[in-house]
Structure 1
Amino acid sequence: MTQTALNLVRPVTTYKLLALDADTTTIGLVTAAYALIPLLSALPLGRLSDRMRRLSRLVALGAALLGLGSLALALSSSIALVAGANALLGFGHLVFTIAGQTLITRHARPGQMNAAFGWFTAAYSAGQLVGPLIAGLLLGSSLGTVSAERSASITVALWVGAGLSLLAAPIVLFRTARPPESTAPAPAVGTPAGGPEQPDDGRSLPARQERATLSAILGRAGVPSHMLASLSLLAMLDILTAFLPLAGEEAGIPPAQIGVLLAIRGAASILSRSCLPWLSSRLSSRTLLLVSLYGSGVALIFPPLTVGQPWIVVPLLVIGGFCLGLGQPLTMTLVSTAVPDGWRGTALAVRLTGNRVGQVVMPITAGFLAAPLGAAGAIWFSCAVLLVSACEKTARR
């Protein structure tokens, strides 16, 4: 429900900005605002999730904040207010994601980590499928930036997104009330006075452990490389969601058709994440991550040029979406298994901090590139970053 709401609201935000006469640079800046608060708060939230006993409360808080961000977008009457509401939306998504990822690391067995993250992110892709479809249905085939009917449709779509997120919060709390979650948080730093730490499965940890600082996590082998891959993949999703509607406007393609194209991309990611347990049993995580980076980086070069030609753009979005879907759960596993058990919530928060850096820097850069080159320039820039990350992974042995 939360990911359906999020992926309904985000493309609709682009249309709202166009209705407020925003240019491509402004759209890039507002898209970057989504990651501003998370950029500063991811690491403290990761440490909090490592200490919390009942993570369902944090999940529910994230869902509620997503709803409030959507409400604020619906009520915003200026570009500045849209940017602030988008920042609140991004914070809600961060809270929800950190809590959910930490739950996975706390309860999944090591050999099932790829599969667990695969199903977790498949639910995200399900939202990426359904959300744009609902947005397209609500906005219909209206084109142009100034229309009372279109403005009303945009507001209704944002209210629907808010309702979905707000409904998710009590469902999380009710569903997890019985049986309770694990009563112990993930292993904390240091040793409590009562004796050695005990993780959720009862295994004893060493009496003392190095503190999970940013530098210590980044000093672990492979972690910076995994973070570069993660941020390039996630930033591509953001830029595709924000700038494919703009490419459609430039080509005279109605929102309903753009919603279907974004949904096709989401469906392809559901397929790849559902297949991840089977793929992981046959190929290494490194090989699969390279497929993700190279495949998406090449396939997504062409959709902005062929957005009005379904027989070309649909296969490209299927290939690009399938490859994009593989990358995020793989980087979650690679980062969480590169650090000690008691660091995993914090390490995943560091990964999310890197993602948010990408979500700030890349949309701003893409927005400036889109000014002379159009929406295609923004998407091409993201493809270039994906291919750079792929080459860096290839060079690492």
Structure 2
Amino acid sequence: MRPGGNRGWLLRLVIAFSFTQGAVSMARPAVSYRALALGADERAVGVIAGVYALLPLFAAVPLGRRTDHGRCAPLLPFGVVLIAGGCALSGVAGSLWAMALWSGVMGLGHLCFVIGSQSLVARQSAPHEQDRNFGHFTIGAALGQLIGPIAAGALIGGADMAGTSALALLAAGATAAVSFTSLWRIEHRRTASASRAHKGDRVPVRGILRTRGVPAGIFISLAVLSATDILTAYLPVVGEHRGIAPSVVGLLLSLRAAATIACRLVLTPLLRLLGRTLLLTLTCLLAALLCAGIALPVPVWALGLLLVLLGFCLGVGQPLSMTTVVQASPEDARSTALALRLTGNRLGQVAAPASAGLIAGVAGVAAPFVMLGVLLLVSAGVALRSRGSGPPEPGPEAAAPGGEAAMPGRDVPKPGGEGAKPGRRRVSLRRKSDI
């Protein structure tokens, strides 16, 4: 089956990702509340949030190497098992050390699922479909981020914070397990066979990182995910200090996720209007200003407005950084390049919460958001400097038939839904890998 020929697999992948991301988004604030109930301070919350990314930091590249020359689908159920187990065991843990351990297991499971699913999207999408398909794929993450915090806020509260947060973690484990129902026959047979047959020499990691466009995509992704992660982990702490109820905090986090979904639904026309570089630069710059605004003692309604605008801006970075990394990297090392991007993400998830915890302990709980503003400001500069160094950008002149944005220099599908000849597509991909 040719890439992009049947998108039923993409719908099932989005559904599965919604449940797994919903479980993680429910568990992350629940872990923070349970840690606070067990006596943790702001620094300890930052350390526990950082451990979530510590194990994945060392596992990403080996998993990417394996996926480059093997199947993607087996990583998905394995990741679900680790997520469900990490959530449930965090709920019954009686110490901060145990919570940190199971938080790391949860993070490893999330990494497995994301590497497998992102590689699947890259492998089963035609080049001109990647912006759109990665945008649709990340809608699953945004849906989970919308529902998870609301569910956590509904379950957590009252005098027994330790008990209700434990209940939320157990519910998160059950939610993750539901995603098993959407993982059947999600990888095309011909795609899997071709990946096993295509075993060339491994592209060195240093060579991938030196490819133009890859470092910029990794850094922008790191900055955007760090912002999302610290918002999830530290907004409950801000709420505790400002007297905002957990249910309201969950609603605020869900408003941000809803705005991210809205952004990704209109991503294709935004790309046609502005192009990838300008869109990334503007949204990172606006997100930097909005993060700094969260540090101000604003009323709840104003905080909600800031989070809606921030969610829209942050919705751009992840799918476009995926496309940037995939199209800039060599064809036979795309899963490894995506794994390196995820390694950068996890490095940010280790360093950013730990740094945020130290800053919060010294300068107050709002200070980490100022740190995020600076990080996003730097990422806006990186996006601007990357102009011309990555893959060609979709623009008004690159609209494919049927309203889809095609990449300049790529094969545009012929009327009637037939793609370009396989030989031409391979030549185009190889030419791109030499950039």
Q: TM-score, normalised by structure 2?
A: 0.81
Of the three residues 172, 179, 186, the one matched with 2:182 is: 172
Partner of 1:381: 371
Higher RCO (CA < 8 A, seq sep 6+): 1
Q: Work out whether 1:296 is the aligned partner of 2:303.
A: no
Q: Which runs of 5+ in 2 are unaligned?
A: 1-18, 388-435
- Cα distance in 1 for residues equivalent to 2:366 and 2:84: 31
Q: Work out whether 1:116 is the aligned partner of 2:129.
A: no
- Cα distance in 2 for residues equivalent to 1:221 and 1:61: 33
Instruction: Map Cα deviations across residues 186-245 of structure 1 (whole Å, 9 max, x no partner).
Output: 8669xx6xxxx4xxxxxxxxxx96632210110101211221111011011111101110
Aligned-residue offset at 1:396? 4.3
- Cα distance in 1 for residues equivalent to 2:162 and 2:79: 28
Aligned-residue offset at 1:294? 0.8
Partner of 2:207: 216
Partner of 1:151: 162
CA contact (8 A) 1:233 1:328 kept: yes
Partner of 1:36: 54
- Cα distance in 2 for residues equivalent to 1:390 and 1:94: 26
- Cα distance in 2 for residues equivalent to 1:62 and 1:216: 29
Partner of 2:245: 254
Of the three residues 145, 161, 171, the one matched with 1:128 is: 145
- Cα distance in 2 for residues equivalent to 1:94 and 1:393: 25
SS at match of 1:305: coil
Partner of 1:72: 89
Q: Give the RMSD, CA atoms, in angstroms.
A: 1.8
- Cα distance in 2 for residues equivalent to 1:249 and 1:304: 14
- Cα distance in 2 for residues equivalent to 1:25 and 1:216: 37
Partner of 1:182: 189
Q: Work out whether 1:237 is the aligned partner of 2:237.
A: no
CA contact (8 A) 1:50 1:185 kept: no
CA contact (8 A) 1:187 1:341 kept: no
Q: How do residues 1-397 of structure 1 correspond to structure 2 at under 5 angstroms?
A: 1-53=19-71, 55-140=72-157, 142=158, 147=159, 149-169=160-180, 171-173=181-183, 175-176=184-185, 181-185=188-192, 197=198, 211-306=202-297, 309-397=299-387
How many residues align structurally? 369
- Cα distance in 2 for residues equivalent to 1:287 and 1:209: 36
- Cα distance in 2 for residues equivalent to 1:391 and 1:127: 30
Aligned-residue offset at 1:250? 0.4
- Cα distance in 1 for residues equivalent to 2:188 and 2:217: 30
Q: Percent same amino acid among aligned pairs?
A: 37
CA contact (8 A) 2:56 2:107 kept: yes
- Cα distance in 2 for residues equivalent to 1:242 and 1:304: 15
CA contact (8 A) 2:23 2:148 kept: yes
Instruction: Map Cα deviations across residues 260-308 of structure 1 (whole Å, 9 max, x no partner).
Output: 000000000001111112222222111111122112111121224346x
Q: 1:186 to 1:260 in 2, by over 3 A?
A: farther
Deviation above 4 Å: which 4+ runs of structure 1? Answer: 186-189
Q: Aligned partner of 2:379: which letter?
A: S
Q: 1:113 to 1:136 in 2, by over 3 A?
A: same
Q: 1:240 to 1:266 in 2, by over 3 A?
A: same
CA contact (8 A) 1:247 1:376 kept: yes
- Cα distance in 2 for residues equivalent to 1:102 and 1:251: 42
CA contact (8 A) 1:49 1:345 kept: yes
Q: Which runs of 5+ in 1 are unaligned?
A: 198-207
Q: Aligned partner of 1:212: which letter?
A: V
CA contact (8 A) 1:248 1:258 kept: yes
Q: Aligned partner of 1:264: which letter?
A: L
Q: Aligned partner of 2:90: which letter?
A: L
Aligned-residue offset at 1:129? 0.5
Aligned-residue offset at 1:167? 2.4
